[in-house]
């Protein structure tokens, strides 16, 4: 599996939950789960470039120390404008595999032109941009992501949490796919949402909507430590996808998107002659 969304507690950083959640904690917790790679996120503050650089350096170091098992997803703050772009260029050269932006935590509007500027620069580098994609405070957010993806067709956007309880808004991607100009440049990370809706009355609807997006655009993700990888994987597995679909969701889609090694098909033993 590839876990497309984790927040490991980096050296010198405070935990974001009531318990330690270091990379070592994660590896201990996921023993036996066969998670080959995990995206490690940081979140840039606004107007504090030294802090942003320090966070990015820590997650880049984690990537190196773990031979890429945790792959670095760096961050900038769109309101830092030119300085954000300089930092973005720096982290790309230093090995970042994606960029993380969080409208709620970082307090920006997805429709802000400064966001598009950052996304355009990331696209120039071929870097996917992972957005937190559920805001209880901005009901128009689903449409804003569509606008952004249309405005920057070369960008590859990941919408985390499948819009939460607004997941039905994802059906717009099935409609968009009818137009020849649509590039299908939006991926959906299932963290939090799959666990929230699995085993409940929305589970069937959630899976139905996700199939409209396309199972080649779905990413297994845990949002560790806010959710536990084992529970998150169980939730995705319970949604009724076929084995082939699950292989895409659990590994292949993320491998292609983030440029990670692709899965080797299992070799059957030679038949005896």
**Only segment of 61-69, 194-202, 215-223, 244-252 that touches Zn ion (CB under 5 A):** 215-223
The least distance separating Zn ion from the CB of residue 130, rounded to whole angstroms, comes to 9
Residue number with CB closer to Zn ion (85 or 235): 235
The least distance separating Zn ion from the CB of residue 75, rounded to whole angstroms, comes to 12
Taking alpha carbons only, the member of 7, 137, 124, 118 closest to residue 62 is 7
**Only segment of 53-61, 73-81, 178-186, 218-226 that touches Zn ion (CB under 5 A):** 218-226
Strand ranges across the sheet with 37-41: 2-6, 37-41, 70-75, 98-101, 129-132, 157-160, 186-189, 218-219
- Report the greatest alpha carbon distance in the chain: 70
Q: Please tell me whether residue 189 binds Zn ion under the rule CB under 5 A.
A: no
Q: Please tell me whether residue 227 binds Zn ion under the rule CB under 5 A.
A: no
Question: Is the CB of residue 106 less than 8 Å from the CB of residue 43?
Answer: yes
Residue number with CB closer to Zn ion (80 or 223): 223
| Per-residue binding letters, 89-128, with Zn ion (x by CB under 5 A) | ----------------------------------------
Radius of gyration of the chain (CA): 18
CA distance 44 to 203: 34
The separation between the first and the last C-alpha atoms of the chain, rounded to the nearest angstrom, is 36
Q: Please tell me whether residue 223 binds Zn ion under the rule CB under 5 A.
A: yes
Residues forming contacts to Zn ion in the complex (CB under 5 A) are 223
């Amino acid at each position: 599996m590839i876990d497309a969304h984790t927040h490991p507690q980096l050296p010198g950083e405070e935990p974001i939950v009531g318990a330690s959640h270091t990379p070592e904690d994660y590896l201990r917790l996921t023993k036996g789960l066969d998670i080959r790679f995990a995206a490690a996120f940081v979140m840039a503050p606004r107007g504090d470039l030294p802090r942003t650089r320090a966070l990015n350096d820590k997650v880049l170091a984690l990537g190196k120390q773990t031979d890429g098992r945790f792959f670095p997803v760096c961050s900038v703050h769109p309101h830092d404008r030119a300085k954000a772009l300089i930092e973005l260029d720096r982290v790309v050269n230093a090995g970042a595999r994606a960029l993380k932006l969080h409208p709620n935590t970082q307090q920006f509007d997805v429709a802000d032109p400064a966001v598009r500027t950052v996304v355009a620069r990331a696209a120039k580098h071929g870097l996917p941009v992972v957005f937190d994609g559920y805001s209880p405070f901005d009901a128009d957010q689903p449409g804003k992501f569509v606008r952004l993806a249309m405005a920057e067709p070369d960008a590859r956007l990941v919408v985390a949490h499948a819009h939460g309880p607004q997941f039905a808004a994802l059906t717009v991607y099935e409609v968009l796919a009818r137009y020849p100009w649509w590039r299908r440049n939006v991926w959906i990370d299932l963290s939090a949402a799959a666990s929230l809706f699995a085993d409940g009355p929305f589970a069937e609807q959630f899976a139905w909507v996700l199939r409209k997006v396309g199972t080649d655009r779905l990413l297994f993700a845990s949002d560790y430590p806010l959710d536990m990888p084992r529970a998150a994987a169980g939730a995705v597995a319970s949604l009724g996808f076929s084995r082939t679909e699950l292989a895409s969701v659990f590994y292949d889609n993320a491998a292609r998107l983030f440029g990670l090694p692709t899965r080797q098909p299992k070799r059957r033993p030679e038949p005896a002659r």
